């Protein structure tokens, strides 16, 4: 909330500089968003006297002025203004001056004539009539002749004020006003606080002769006060009031509207003034809108209402959108004679709902949403009448209509001071606790070490000892809190098994040269289409965000591959020649759509590689390194992911569980990402992989006997997978097989067509003895037999 510091001084003594005040308020819980010294943006503009005006040779509208600016020599300034005459005092922006609008004035030539500055209008100085009489005149601002020539304009305008923008936290709606902030300042500085005491004289009459007020929904309107003011004398409000309103970011309109706005800014209680003569049947009915009703508000916009919305109606129709904005029909205008003044409390969630539903937010609705004090409703009404009386803006009719179902009792909190200091961990003297609470307006007494605290309704946020502890500490000072090292039973912090497993995978991947990436959990609604999935693919069952920031970020991902492809594309586009990337994140799988319960969030590993040394098999190697962490047996099957190359992709099975697929990305898919290179991706369901418990490792004795190596070269059908050959070798060699390594695959010249040559090195070893030639020959023959069974033709 923006407040003029000078205005605050009407309520509280401020005996420290503005900067210090801000610092101390911050330490009491009032963050300062900005502090703006008035006039900081008005530099080198002075009062100047026009000594002589001569016409400009090359222009029919420019005039050349010789100006006395308080210097030894006159200064020549060219102006386009016509409302000046010799002898006038005007504001002159000299060479190298700054205007509030941000303009920097330097000397120059205007149609060949030197001009050493600029004569300023009220508008150019961002002034209104409230700042200086005549400021709204179209032309140069003519100053009163009381200012000495050369006086800085800041002095002339009384720009010694600071506008401080306090950030009011959501728990302190009572501080969204001058009085609330002033009260806090008085506590922080320990100075006196004075709230105005409303006093005024009425002009007789009886309100009941003028209007009847009925509240049909006390649930949504717990209190409604109405007053009548007759014979309005509408005009401008006084300068002090306009300045206070402008400082707080509002616009002065006329004395009646300004009073209602000023009282809202001063007390936090929104007010509304109705044109009495426009109220049908001289009735005010606070009720829910009826089906089909609508209203045109002050800003000329038309809204259709529904039955959840509260309105202030006259005998016929809604006249005001309760707590949000008045209706155009009953607007106060310059010729309005009589007014009905409203001060009320509306339930905050209803105002919020209505405001959201209609898309309106006003100074008033903002305050209602945060909550207004039911007792303050009356004070604010009285204050408004006092101002109407003091400014002679109308005649106040006797009598006040006050509709309510009883006002709440003050909350009484009884708690021992130990309970307060226990929470803080700092001993605050009992008398200090009592005096702080009292200074905050919480009437507090102490007996023994038990305090009894009467909480006025305006401090509805204070519910118990924790709140009292906060009130005490923010005034006593948080710097009294001294950190203590961790106490209590010594425990070891543990990680979840999933995190430990993920960390192991990350170590392997980093060792394999892969960089971890981070991408958003939501993707574009159309992204999934780039994967060319079938229409009934379950990955198309994506959860939509109801209020996304844009289509690009609208859909919770069921797979990580589209994000990975985007990252690969980013890097390829930047001419980065190669890369290995991985991400461990969640895929969101809805149980049903639209979702009615939390989806499954499943841990997923996404891999992406590209570059001249990368192919299907380098990615396969990375995958095997990962699966090895879990000690699982890995197998592959041909798979049919639509987004992968049909001949270069595989399903991965670890201990017979399907954990994912990998392969070369289909060129049509790559193309959709603007990728021309071959790129390879894998997506692994970590939720499944993590279910594989690694067997306990036990030591196997190192071999005592040598291994023998035998090579097997063979011709096989071109489409025989080497995996089959390996299986044959394995079954032929039995438990003596140590390893079988593929060392050559060749097809082409010298090989019959339809065949390929495959060669394996096979290591055989026994744990019990050195294998004899006879044994080796025997096993070799078994291997050969198995190989021949699958159609291999051994080459000698």
Partner 1 sequence: MQETLKEIVNAAKEAVAACSDESQIENLRVQYLGKKGQLTALLKQMGSLSAEERPKVGALVNQAKQELEELISAKKQELKIKAQENKLNEETVDITMPAKPVKTGKLHPLNTVLDDMINIFQSMGFDVVDGPEVETDYYNFECLNVPADHPARDMQDTFYLGENLLLRTQTSAAQIRTMETRKPPIRVICPGRVFRADEVDATHSPVFHQIEGLVVDKGVTMCDLKGVLEEFAREIYGSDTKVKFRPSFFPFTEPSVEVDVTCSECGGKGCRVCKGSGWIEILGAGMVHPNVLRSCGIDPDVYSGFAFGIGLDRLTTTRYKISDIRLLFENDKRFLEQF
- Give residues 600-659 in contact with partner 1 (rule: CB under 8 A): 601
* 10-18, 331-339, 509-517, 754-762 -> range binding partner 1 (CB under 8 A): 509-517
Distance CA 689, CA 657 (A): 8
Q: How far is the CB of 39 from partner 1 (least distance, A)?
A: 22
Q: Which residue do the tokens 């009792």 mark? A: 409
216 binds partner 1 (CB under 8 A): no
Q: How far is the CB of 519 from partner 1 (least distance, A)?
A: 6
* 126-134, 179-187, 248-256, 589-597 -> range binding partner 1 (CB under 8 A): 589-597
* 50-58, 255-263, 444-452, 570-578 -> range binding partner 1 (CB under 8 A): 570-578
Helix (H, G, I), strand (E, B) or coil at 403: strand
Q: How buried is 254 (Cβ within 10 angstroms: 0-12 exposed, 13-18 middle, 19+ buried)?
A: middle
336 and 232 Cβ atoms separated by less than 8 Å: yes
Distance CA 339, CA 219 (A): 27
**Considering CB under 8 A, how many residues would be counted as binding partner 1?**
92
The interface with partner 1 within residues 56-85 (CB under 8 A) comprises none
Residue 594, preceding bond cis, omega within 30 degrees?
A: yes
The interface with partner 1 within residues 329-368 (CB under 8 A) comprises 348-349, 352-353
Which of 85, 109, 494, 700 is the binder for partner 1 (CB under 8 A)?
494
Pairing of strands 104-105, 108-110: unpaired
Nearest to 795 by CA among 763, 755, 765, 764: 755
DSSP 746-784: E-STTS-TTEEEEEEEEEE--SSSPPPHHHHHHHHHHHH
List the x/- string, 110-149, binding to partner 1 by CB under 8 A. Answer: ----------------------------------------
Total residue length of the chain: 796
User: What pairs with residue 92 in β-bridges?
Assistant: 46, 119
* 452-460, 518-526, 668-676, 718-726 -> range binding partner 1 (CB under 8 A): 518-526
Q: Write out the two tokens for 476.
A: 């006593």
Distance CA 581, CA 406 (A): 67
Q: Which residue do the tokens 């008085």 mark? A: 186
- Of 232 and 509, nearer to partner 1 (C-beta) is 509
Q: How far is the CB of 521 from partner 1 (least distance, A)?
A: 6
* 181-189, 300-308, 467-475, 725-733 -> range binding partner 1 (CB under 8 A): 467-475
Q: How far is the CB of 135 from partner 1 (least distance, A)?
A: 35
718 binds partner 1 (CB under 8 A): no
Q: How far is the CB of 248 from partner 1 (least distance, A)?
A: 19
List the x/- string, 148-187, binding to partner 1 by CB under 8 A. Answer: ---------------------xxxxx--------------
Maximum distance among all alpha carbons in the chain?
A: 130
The interface with partner 1 within residues 548-567 (CB under 8 A) comprises 548-549, 553, 556, 567
134: left (phi over 0), alpha (psi -120 to 50) or beta: left
CB-side neighbour CA atoms (13 Å) of 641: 26
The interface with partner 1 within residues 365-394 (CB under 8 A) comprises 369-371
Q: Write out the two tokens for 35.
A: 């502090």
Helix (H, G, I), strand (E, B) or coil at 154: helix
Which of 158, 208, 520, 591 is the binder for partner 1 (CB under 8 A)?
520
- Of 29 and 663, nearer to partner 1 (C-beta) is 29
- Of 7 and 465, nearer to partner 1 (C-beta) is 465
Burial 386-425 (b: 16+ CB within 10 A, else e): bbbbebebbbbbebbbbbbeeeeeebebebebebbbeebe
- Of 97 and 561, nearer to partner 1 (C-beta) is 561
517 binds partner 1 (CB under 8 A): yes
User: What pairs with residue 108 in β-bridges?
Assistant: 115
Q: Which residue do the tokens 């798979």 mark? A: 639
Residue 251 phi/psi, 5-degree rounding, is -115, 130
List the x/- string, 527-546, binding to partner 1 by CB under 8 A. Answer: ----------------xxxx
Q: How far is the CB of 438 from partner 1 (least distance, A)?
A: 19
- Of 325 and 589, nearer to partner 1 (C-beta) is 589
680 binds partner 1 (CB under 8 A): no
How many Å separate Cα 314 from the centre of its chain? 40
310 and 344 Cβ atoms separated by less than 8 Å: no
Alpha-carbon torsion 495, 496, 499, 503, what sign?
positive
427 binds partner 1 (CB under 8 A): no
- Of 237 and 350, nearer to partner 1 (C-beta) is 350
Which of 586, 645, 710, 739 is the binder for partner 1 (CB under 8 A)?
586
- Of 467 and 726, nearer to partner 1 (C-beta) is 467
Helix (H, G, I), strand (E, B) or coil at 217: coil
188 and 61 Cβ atoms separated by less than 8 Å: no
The interface with partner 1 within residues 12-41 (CB under 8 A) comprises 26-29, 31
How many Å separate Cα 230 from the centre of its chain? 47
268 binds partner 1 (CB under 8 A): no
411 binds partner 1 (CB under 8 A): no
Which of 280, 466, 745, 794 is the binder for partner 1 (CB under 8 A)?
466
- Of 264 and 523, nearer to partner 1 (C-beta) is 523
Which of 515, 617, 705, 746 is the binder for partner 1 (CB under 8 A)?
515
Which of 311, 401, 434, 469 is the binder for partner 1 (CB under 8 A)?
469
């Amino acid at each position: 909330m923006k407040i003029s510091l000078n205005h605050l001084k009407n309520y509280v003594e401020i005996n420290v500089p503005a900067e210090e005040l801000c610092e101390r308020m911050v330490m009491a819980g009032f963050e300062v968003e900005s502090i703006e010294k008035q006039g900081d943006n008005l530099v080198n503009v002075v009062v100047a006297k026009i000594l002589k005006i001569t016409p400009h040779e090359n222009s029919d509208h420019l005039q050349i002025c010789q100006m006395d600016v308080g210097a030894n020599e006159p200064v020549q300034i060219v102006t386009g203004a016509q409302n000046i005459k010799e002898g006038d005092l005007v504001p002159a922006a000299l060479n190298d001056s700054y205007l509030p609008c941000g303009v920097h004035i330097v000397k120059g030539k205007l149609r060949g004539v030197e001009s050493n500055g600029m004569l300023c209008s009220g508008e150019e100085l961002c002034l209104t009539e409230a700042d200086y009489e005549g400021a709204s005149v179209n032309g140069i601002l003519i100053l009163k002749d009381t200012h000495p020539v050369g006086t800085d304009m800041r002095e002339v305008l009384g720009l010694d004020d600071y506008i401080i923008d306090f950030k009011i936290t959501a728990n302190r709606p009572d501080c969204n006003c001058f009085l609330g902030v002033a009260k806090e300042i008085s506590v922080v500085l320990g100075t006196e606080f004075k709230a105005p005491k409303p006093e005024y004289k009425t002009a007789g009459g009886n309100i009941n002769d003028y209007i009847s007020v009925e509240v049909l929904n006390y649930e949504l309107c717990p209190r409604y006060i109405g007053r009548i003011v007759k014979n309005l004398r509408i005009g401008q409000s006084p300068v002090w009031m306009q300045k206070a309103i402008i400082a707080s970011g509002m616009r002065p309109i006329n004395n009646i509207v300004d009073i209602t706005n000023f009282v809202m800014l001063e007390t936090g209680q929104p007010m509304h003034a109705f044109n009495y003569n426009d109220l049908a049947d001289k009735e005010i009915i606070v009720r829910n809108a009826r089906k089909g009703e609508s209203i045109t508000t002050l800003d000329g916009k038309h809204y259709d209402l529904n039955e959840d919305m509260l309105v202030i109606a006259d005998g016929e129709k809604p006249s005001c959108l309760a707590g949000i904005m008045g209706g155009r029909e009953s607007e106060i205008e310059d010729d309005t004679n009589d007014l009905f003044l409203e001060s009320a409390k509306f339930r905050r969630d209803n105002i919020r709902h209505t405001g959201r539903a209609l898309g309106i937010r006003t100074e008033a609705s903002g305050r209602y949403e945060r909550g207004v004090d039911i007792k303050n409703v009356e004070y604010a009404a009285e204050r408004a009448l006092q101002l109407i009386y003091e400014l002679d803006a109308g005649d106040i009719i006797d009598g006040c209509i006050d509709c309510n179902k009883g006002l709440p009792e003050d909350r009484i909190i009884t708690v021992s001071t130990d309970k307060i200091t226990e929470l803080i961990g700092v001993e605050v003297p009992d008398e200090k606790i009592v005096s702080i609470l009292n200074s905050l307006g919480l009437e507090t007494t102490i007996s023994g070490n038990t305090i009894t605290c009467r909480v006025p309704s305006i401090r509805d946020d204070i519910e118990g000892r924790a709140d009292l502890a906060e009130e005490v500490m923010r005034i006593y000072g948080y710097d009294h809190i001294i950190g203590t090292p961790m106490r209590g039973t010594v425990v070891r912090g543990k990680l979840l098994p999933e995190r430990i497993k993920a960390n192991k995978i990350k170590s392997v991947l980093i060792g394999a040269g892969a960089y971890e990436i981070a991408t958003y959990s939501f993707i574009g609604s159309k992204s999934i289409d780039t994967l060319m999935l079938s229409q009934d693919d379950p990955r198309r069952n994506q959860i939509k965000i109801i209020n996304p920031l844009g289509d690009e970020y609208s859909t919770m991902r069921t797979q990580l591959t589209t994000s990975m492809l985007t990252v690969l594309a980013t890097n390829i586009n930047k001419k980065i020649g190669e890369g290995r990337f991985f991400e461990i994140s969640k895929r969101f799988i809805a149980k049903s759509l639209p979702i009615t319960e939390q989806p499954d969030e499943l841990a997923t590993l996404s891999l992406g590689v590209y570059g001249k040394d990368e192919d299907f098999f380098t990615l396969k190697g990375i995958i095997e390194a990962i699966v090895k962490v879990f000690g699982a047996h890995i197998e592959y099957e041909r798979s049919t992911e639509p987004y992968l190359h049909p001949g270069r992709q595989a399903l991965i099975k670890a201990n017979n569980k399907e954990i994912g697929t990998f392969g070369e990305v289909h060129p049509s898919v790559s193309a959709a990402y603007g990728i021309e290179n071959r790129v390879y991706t894998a997506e692994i369901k970590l939720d499944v992989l993590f279910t594989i418990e690694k067997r306990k490792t036990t030591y196997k004795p190192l071999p005592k006997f040598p291994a023998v190596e035998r090579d097997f070269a063979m011709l096989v059908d071109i489409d025989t997978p080497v995996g089959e050959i390996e299986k044959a070798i394995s079954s032929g060699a039995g438990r003596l097989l140590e390893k079988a390594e593929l060392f050559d695959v060749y097809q082409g010249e010298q090989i019959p067509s339809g065949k390929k040559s495959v060669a394996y090195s096979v290591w055989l070893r026994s744990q019990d003895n050195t294998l004899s030639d006879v044994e080796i020959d025997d096993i070799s023959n078994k291997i050969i037999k198995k190989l021949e069974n699958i159609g291999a033709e051994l080459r000698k």
